[in-house]
């Protein structure tokens, strides 16, 4: 079985500060991990994904995430927050059959001017 835990349902950062959104996964097989972003009243947009290979993956809008197997983590970071980054962020893991995605509960990011 697979699952995702996102620590912190709400994160606030100042504009220009580091963004760190936490995601830990549980998987009995090598996971495929994803971060999606949801802007208000919109659908889910892929930020980045980890499949195999390099453990540090770069995504859109300056975001990146590092797969750490020893810590079962896939935390999302951005060096400098921008006002436009305010959104809901979801971490997801793909099932070993590829049939479905398991989503975390989401983290709402607020950027303070």
Partner 1 sequence: EPEVTQTPSHQVTQMGQEVILRCVPISNHLYFYWYRQILGQKVEFLVSFYNNEISEKSEIFDDQFSVERPDGSNFTLKIRSTKLEDSAMYFCASRLFGVVNTEAFFGQGTRLTVV
Nearest approach in angstroms of CB 58 to partner 1 is: 15
Please give the residues from 32 up to 71 whose contact with partner 1 meets the rule CB under 8 A. 32, 34, 36, 42-46, 49, 51-52
106: its two tokens:
């989401």
Give the H/E segment covering residue 33. Answer: strand 32-38
Question: Which CB atom, from 14 or from 26, has the smaller least distance to partner 1?
Answer: 26
Question: Which CB atom, from 17 or from 101, has the smaller least distance to partner 1?
Answer: 101
Segment interacting with partner 1, rule: CB under 8 A, options 10-18, 28-36, 69-77, 79-87: 28-36
Segment interacting with partner 1, rule: CB under 8 A, options 18-26, 64-72, 73-81, 98-106: 98-106
Number of residues that bind partner 1 (CB under 8 A): 23
Question: Which CB atom, from 35 or from 85, has the smaller least distance to partner 1?
Answer: 35
17: its two tokens:
């500060």
d(CA 81, CA 24): 22
């Amino acid at each position: 079985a697979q699952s995702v835990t996102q620590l912190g349902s709400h994160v606030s950062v100042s504009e220009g500060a580091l963004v760190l959104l936490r995601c830990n996964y549980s998987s009995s097989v090598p996971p495929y991990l994803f971060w999606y972003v949801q802007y208000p009243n919109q659908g889910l947009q892929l930020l980045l994904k980890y499949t195999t290979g390099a453990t540090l993956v770069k995504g859109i809008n300056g975001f990146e995430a590092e797969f750490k197997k020893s810590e079962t983590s896939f935390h999302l970071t951005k060096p400098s927050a921008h006002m436009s980054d305010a959104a809901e962020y979801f971490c997801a893991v793909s099932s070993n059959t590829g049939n479905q995605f398991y989503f975390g509960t989401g983290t709402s990011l607020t950027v303070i001017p």
